[in-house]
């Protein structure tokens, strides 16, 4: 594909077919938390990774590597490790919040026993069923190709993480373009995962992306309006949130995202059955 960019700045096109296609794809993409176990074509996995390798990175140092996991035993091992290491950690962190402000995945109204609640939350997850897991790894040594100022690990900003995030985002967009579903499984405690896939300790175990056919219906996403987030020539202090407004924003966010989050977990067949019963 080649873009026919106009050189006359006085008469730019109102839009382009490529832009409309991109916008439709970005809006169509959603994080799918219920994936079918049905196999997906190997060629689809290759196509997804072909897009990912063209991601942006500092000095084009391309710090990413990908492990494609199809073996059912290893997929289950990754899942079990996540549940035993990461999920339990995240759960107890979320318990520090008021129930109505917890992440949607950690809201189980009416359950007061934390151990029972944790079990319910764990049982809702089924991404081990996805036929393919793409594991995103990062090699920080490749970032030596970029400027020294990019290695500001103590300031929580590095070109390594930027590059890995860029590649992971493209994986999700490529998957959506092929009709596949994908989930973003962040690895907070990586050490145990290295052993499963024999990943060298020096590499960053960044992310697991389960990939498969969606078992849920697509639904419209929700984002803030442009006039809430765009500033012109200087920061518009009228848009700056006070602490009280930030607290109110969390309630607004939960109210807007919880129904959509739950719909990403509901089985399509259950939705169709409910529709027939009406």
All structural domains of the chain with their residue ranges? 28-277
Alpha helices in the chain (DSSP H): 17-28, 42-52, 72-81, 88-94, 114-124, 159-177, 191-197, 226-229, 243-263, 268-277
181 within 8 A of 32, measured Cβ to Cβ: yes
100 within 8 A of 215, measured Cβ to Cβ: no
Q: How high is the mean pLDDT in each 10-residue block of the chain (278 residues)? A: 60 90 94 94 98 94 96 96 90 89 86 91 89 96 73 62 95 97 93 95 95 90 92 97 93 80 58 42
- Among 127, 53, 51, 43, which Cα is nearest to 83's? 127
Alpha helices in 88-215 (DSSP H): 88-94, 114-124, 159-177, 191-197
Show the tokens assigned to 264.
Answer: 């990403």
Q: Give the pLDDT score at 259.
A: 72
Q: Check if CATH label 3.90.550.10 holds for domain 28-277.
A: no
Alpha helices in 39-181 (DSSP H): 42-52, 72-81, 88-94, 114-124, 159-177
Q: Give the pLDDT score at 2.
A: 59
Pairwise CA distance, residues 186 & 207, whole Å? 5
Q: Whole-model pTM?
A: 0.84
Q: Give the pLDDT score at 233.
A: 97
Q: Give the pLDDT score at 273.
A: 46
Q: Give the pLDDT score at 197.
A: 96
Q: Give the pLDDT score at 18.
A: 95
C-beta neighbour count of 129 within 10 angstroms: 18
């Amino acid at each position: 594909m080649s873009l026919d960019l106009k050189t006359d700045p006085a008469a730019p096109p109102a839009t382009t077919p490529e832009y409309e296609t991109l916008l439709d794809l970005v809006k169509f993409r959603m994080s799918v938390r219920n994936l079918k176990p049905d196999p997906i074509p190997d060629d689809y996995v290759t196509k997804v990774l072909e897009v990912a390798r063209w991601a942006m990175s500092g000095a084009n140092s391309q710090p990413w590597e990908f492990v494609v996991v199809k073996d059912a035993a290893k997929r289950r091992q990754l899942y079990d490790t996540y549940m035993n290491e990461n999920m339990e950690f995240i759960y107890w962190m979320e318990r520090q919040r008021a129930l109505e402000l917890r992440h949607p995945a950690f809201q189980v109204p009416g359950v007061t026993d934390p151990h029972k609640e944790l079990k319910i939350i764990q049982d809702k997850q089924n991404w081990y069923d996805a036929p393919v897991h793409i594991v995103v790894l990062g090699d920080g040594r490749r970032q030596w190709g970029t400027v020294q100022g990019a290695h500001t690990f103590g300031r929580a900003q590095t070109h390594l993480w930027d590059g890995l995030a860029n590649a992971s985002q493209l994986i999700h967009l490529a998957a959506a373009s092929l009709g596949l579903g994908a989930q973003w499984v962040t690895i907070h405690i990586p050490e145990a995962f290295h052993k499963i896939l024999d990943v060298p300790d020096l590499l960053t175990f960044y992310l697991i992306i389960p990939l498969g056919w969606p078992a849920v219906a697509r639904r419209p996403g929700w984002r803030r309006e442009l006039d809430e987030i765009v500033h012109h020539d200087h920061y518009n202090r009228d848009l700056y949130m006070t602490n009280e407004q930030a607290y109110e924003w969390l309630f607004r966010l939960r109210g807007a995202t919880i129904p959509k989050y739950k719909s990403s977990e509901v089985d399509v067949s259950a939705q169709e059955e409910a529709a027939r019963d009406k």
